[in-house]
Amino acid sequence: MPRFRGSDASRDPAAHRVATRVAPTKSKSPTRSRRLRKKLHVDEFREDGFHVRLVLRASSAAEADRFWDDFLAEAIEARGLTYGGGEQGFVTAARGSAVEADREAVRDWLAARPEVTSAEVGPLVDAWRAPAPPS
C-alpha cells in the first residue's frame, strides 16, 4: 500500500486519489567519506588481483606437492602475494594490490616450469568484485 501525506489519507479511503505520493528518497551523493571508501574497497582503496589457470603434469603426488611448495614459496610468497585455489585460482597482494610486474613474474615462473603443460594468467581485475573466470 503506498504511503500518502496528510492525516486524512490514512482515515479516508477516497483521499488517496487526491493525496500526493511521498517521493522516494534520492540516493546520497556519489562522493563518499574516506572511511566508507576504505570499507567498500573502492577508489584509492581498490585492490587488484588476477586469475591463474594451469594444467599440471605430475607423475606422482609427491611431484605435485613439490611443485605447489615451490610455486607458493618462489612465485607467490617471495613477491608478497597470496594465492587461493588449485589449478584454477586467484592471486592478489597480501596488502594492497597486485601490479603488472607481479602478473608477469607469475606468468614467467609458470612458463619456465617443465611440470606445467599450459598456463593462463588473466588481466588485473578488482579483487573484491572480479567475475569468475570463464570455464
User: 61 and 4 in one domain?
Assistant: no
**Range of the structural domain that residue 94 is part of:** 43-126
User: 119 and 94 in one domain?
Assistant: yes
Q: Is the pTM of this model over 0.75?
A: no
14: in domain: yes
35: in domain: no
37: in domain: no
User: 17 and 75 in one domain?
Assistant: no
User: 113 and 52 in one domain?
Assistant: yes
Which triple of cell numbers denotes residue 89? 585460482
Euclidean distance between CA atoms 36 and 82, whole angstroms: 25
Q: CB–CB of 107/28 below 8 Å? A: no
User: Which residues, at least 6 apart from 124, have a Cβ–Cβ distance to it below 8 Å?
Assistant: 48, 49, 50, 97, 98, 99, 100, 103
Which triple of cell numbers denotes residue 17? 486519489
User: 52 and 13 in one domain?
Assistant: no
Number of domains in the chain: 2
How would you write the pLDDT of the chain (135 residues) with one tens digit per residue? 555 455 555 555 555 555 445 445 454 446 888 887 777 766 666 778 999 999 998 888 999 999 999 999 999 999 999 999 999 999 999 888 899 999 999 999 999 999 999 999 999 998 888 777 766
Looking at residue 22, what is its pLDDT? 47
User: 53 and 22 in one domain?
Assistant: no
User: 86 and 23 in one domain?
Assistant: no
User: 53 and 16 in one domain?
Assistant: no
Looking at residue 114, what is its pLDDT? 92
